[in-house]
Chains A and B, each alone.
Chain A
Amino acid sequence: MPTKPKKILIIEDEKPMARALELKLTYEGFEATTAFNGESAIETLEKEIFDLIICDLVMPKVNGFKVLETLKEKKVKTPVMVLTNLSQEDDEKRVKSLGAKEFFIKSNTPIANIVGWITQFLK
């Protein structure tokens, strides 16, 4: 019996980035859902359970840090990978202290590496 595809929530306000991730993850056999801002991501997370969250940091209104804080408050255990263009070491430390498992800088990372990490992580 084929295993159920792992569910991934992409929180990303930039549509082309979200689309690329969605296509790549689907191609690799994952089930991808996109939330275009922090608010709708939190709403989606209240209704559905995911195996992994990919979270951007700079987003209007509810940014990625706020999303991570909310997940912590609500004791949501879904692992989070942060994918951002912020490259401050302090940002990396801050998101990791908020529970993020991994931190990738978008412009520095091939999409294959991102999906490769996810595949390995969800094994």
Chain B
Amino acid sequence: MISLENIKITDVLQSIPDGTVLFALDRQVLFANAAASRLTGLPQEGFYLTELTRLLQAKVSVNLENAVEAVLRGGAPVHVINVQVVSFFYEFFITPCYDATHNVIGGIIAMYDETDHVEFDRRKTEFVSLAAHQLRTPSTSIKWFLEMLLAGDAGSLNEKQKEYAKEAYQNSQRMVILVNMLLNVSRMELGNFSISPEPTDTIAFTRDVLEEFQLQIKEKEIQVNEQYAPNLRLIPLDPRLLRIIVQNIISNAVKYTPEKGTIIVKISSQQEGETVGGRKLKIDSLVISITDTGYGIPSNQSDKIFTKLFRADNVKDKDTDGIGLGLYLAKLIVDHIHGDLWFVSPALSHVEGELGKGTTFYLTIPSKGMGKKEGEKELVAWSKNQ
């Protein structure tokens, strides 16, 4: 008769379609089921975990060893993502095994195959990248033809015609920006972009970006208050990447600040351990903060602000131009260069409907700057002469 006592554990493990590895305290593998053996090319028993970790990329290997260590010591299950074995992607779940007196005596690694998901996501991103690239030519030529029409190259236009052509021109320009953004997002997501740092004067750089928004700033009579720390040294930064980040934050500040509002731009150098915008710095950093007196960010939506295609409810009707990619892209880049980007909105501490107290965005960049990275593609920054 079947009962839990007389079932062999190895028979149970063998029947699991996902790779499963049972190991002892000394990290000797007591049993690897057929799926694990097939996946790793290792035998079903008689080897140590080091032989498994040797198959992985250095960084993941360290993660896995640390995870095993944590499980054996602390006893809590650990989840390791993005484990690549040959050309397959896995998530590893590592769980402890106990004896009758609840002492940890080993652990189990369960390997879940994520390859299809990873591949599906990569294909989607590749498609977006390709589509965006293909859209650049028609959108640019539409923009050029409208520019010529407006310049009177095809004969002078009457007021009404001018108004219509101008509207079309502005929207074609928007389309070019959107296409460039999509291209950037997909290149970031695919990871095949390059970083080319060069010594950068961040104050001059920020002023230059502010200059791009002069027209809107004047039109809305916004006061810009600049507070820069003296003697800031040059930092190796990729100007295109930095431009995308700073441009997005300033653009939002200008867009979402009502007429006669104020924008405060601060740049300083801060040491590890100092607190900035409620966060303790983990490393010496350059800090750029941009405060506006805009509509603020509703507290119930604050955790979504950096997600793809998100637009806060309270500004959707005020600015129909927003796409919801700017901050997502900025955050992707910041994460990549080991910086940080977050915001503080006084609206967070208020009840709904009491918005409008403005927002401060904090951008921190490691003082040592960005590291060089080779890549097939560069992100597209758009400049003021666009």
Write the residues of chain A forming the contact surface with B, with a CB cutoff of 8 angstroms. Answer: 14, 16-17, 19-20, 23-24, 27, 85, 87-90, 105-113
In the complex, what distance in Å separates the CA atom of A90 from the CA atom of B377? 10
**Total number of residue pairs linking A and B with CB closer than 8 Å:** 65
> Could you say which of A14, A88, A107, A111 contacts B147, with CB atoms under 8 Å apart?
A111
The reply to whether B145 and A20 form a contact with Cβ atoms under 8 Å apart is: yes
The reply to whether B385 and A113 form a contact with Cβ atoms under 8 Å apart is: yes
In the complex, what distance in Å separates the CA atom of A109 from the CA atom of B378? 17
Chain B, range 141-197, C-beta contacts under 8 Å to A: 141, 143-145, 147-148, 151, 153, 176, 179-180, 194, 196
> Which residue in chain A gives the minimum CB-CB distance to B142?
A16
- For B151, list chain A residues within 8 Å (CB): 112
> Which residue in chain B gives the minimum CB-CB distance to A110?
B147
> Residue B82 at the A interface, CB < 8 A?
no
In the complex, what distance in Å separates the CA atom of A27 from the CA atom of B138? 22
The reply to whether B137 and A14 form a contact with Cβ atoms under 8 Å apart is: yes
The reply to whether A108 and B382 form a contact with Cβ atoms under 8 Å apart is: yes
Taking the nearest CB of chain A, how far is it from the CB of B11, in angstroms?
Answer: 57
- For A113, list chain B residues within 8 Å (CB): 385
A23 touching B139 in the complex, CB below 8 Å, given contacts A89-B196, A111-B147, A112-B147? no
> Could you say which of B137, B179, B380 contacts A16, with CB atoms under 8 Å apart?
B137
- For B231, list chain A residues within 8 Å (CB): none
Interface of B is mostly: helix
> Which residue in chain A gives the minimum CB-CB distance to B379?
A87
The reply to whether B386 and A23 form a contact with Cβ atoms under 8 Å apart is: no
> Could you say which of B139, B145, B386 contacts A108, with CB atoms under 8 Å apart?
B386
Taking the nearest CB of chain A, how far is it from the CB of B21, in angstroms?
Answer: 44
The reply to whether B385 and A24 form a contact with Cβ atoms under 8 Å apart is: no
A23 touching B179 in the complex, CB below 8 Å, given contacts A14-B141, A85-B136, A108-B386? no
In the complex, what distance in Å separates the CA atom of A20 from the CA atom of B141? 7
Taking the nearest CB of chain A, how far is it from the CB of B216, in angstroms?
Answer: 19
Give the one of A16, A89, A107, A109 with max B CB within 10 A.
Answer: A107
Digitize B362-386: 1 where CB-to-A-CB distance is under 8 Å, 0 elsewhere. 0000000000000001111011011
A88 touching B148 in the complex, CB below 8 Å, given contacts A16-B138, A110-B386? no
> Could you say which of A19, A27, A88, A106 contacts B378, with CB atoms under 8 Å apart?
A88
The reply to whether B145 and A109 form a contact with Cβ atoms under 8 Å apart is: no
Interface of A is mostly: helix
Taking the nearest CB of chain B, how far is it from the CB of A118, in angstroms?
Answer: 15
Taking the nearest CB of chain A, how far is it from the CB of B136, in angstroms?
Answer: 5
- For A20, list chain B residues within 8 Å (CB): 141, 144-145, 148
The reply to whether A108 and B383 form a contact with Cβ atoms under 8 Å apart is: yes
> Residue B140 at the A interface, CB < 8 A?
yes
The reply to whether A27 and B385 form a contact with Cβ atoms under 8 Å apart is: no
In the complex, what distance in Å separates the CA atom of A122 from the CA atom of B140? 25
- For A16, list chain B residues within 8 Å (CB): 137-138, 141, 145
> Which residue in chain B gives the minimum CB-CB distance to A113?
B385
In the complex, what distance in Å separates the CA atom of A111 from the CA atom of B340? 38
The reply to whether A23 and B180 form a contact with Cβ atoms under 8 Å apart is: no
In the complex, what distance in Å separates the CA atom of A112 from the CA atom of B386? 11
- For A19, list chain B residues within 8 Å (CB): 141
Apart from A14-B137, A85-B133, A112-B151, what 7 extra A-B contacts exist at CB < 8 Å?
Answer: A19-B141, A20-B145, A85-B136, A90-B194, A105-B380, A108-B386, A112-B147
In the complex, what distance in Å separates the CA atom of A17 from the CA atom of B144? 8
- For B377, list chain A residues within 8 Å (CB): 88
Closest 3 CB pairs of A and B: A16-B141, A20-B144, A111-B144
- For A24, list chain B residues within 8 Å (CB): 144, 148, 153
The reply to whether A87 and B148 form a contact with Cβ atoms under 8 Å apart is: no
> Which residue in chain A gives the minimum CB-CB distance to B194?
A88
The reply to whether B140 and A106 form a contact with Cβ atoms under 8 Å apart is: yes
In the complex, what distance in Å separates the CA atom of A23 from the CA atom of B151? 13
The reply to whether B147 and A106 form a contact with Cβ atoms under 8 Å apart is: no
Taking the nearest CB of chain A, how far is it from the CB of B266, in angstroms?
Answer: 29
> Could you say which of B196, B379, B380, B385 contacts A107, with CB atoms under 8 Å apart?
B380
In the complex, what distance in Å separates the CA atom of A17 from the CA atom of B386? 17
Taking the nearest CB of chain B, how far is it from the CB of A86, in angstroms?
Answer: 9
- For B196, list chain A residues within 8 Å (CB): 89
- For B383, list chain A residues within 8 Å (CB): 108
> Could you say which of A17, A27, A90, A105 contacts B141, with CB atoms under 8 Å apart?
A17
In the complex, what distance in Å separates the CA atom of A112 from the CA atom of B141? 13
In the complex, what distance in Å separates the CA atom of A24 from the CA atom of B141? 12
In the complex, what distance in Å separates the CA atom of A69 from the CA atom of B176? 31
> Which residue in chain B gives the minimum CB-CB distance to A91?
B378
In the complex, what distance in Å separates the CA atom of A23 from the CA atom of B301? 49
In the complex, what distance in Å separates the CA atom of A112 from the CA atom of B196? 30
- For B139, list chain A residues within 8 Å (CB): 107
> Which residue in chain B gives the minimum CB-CB distance to A15?
B141
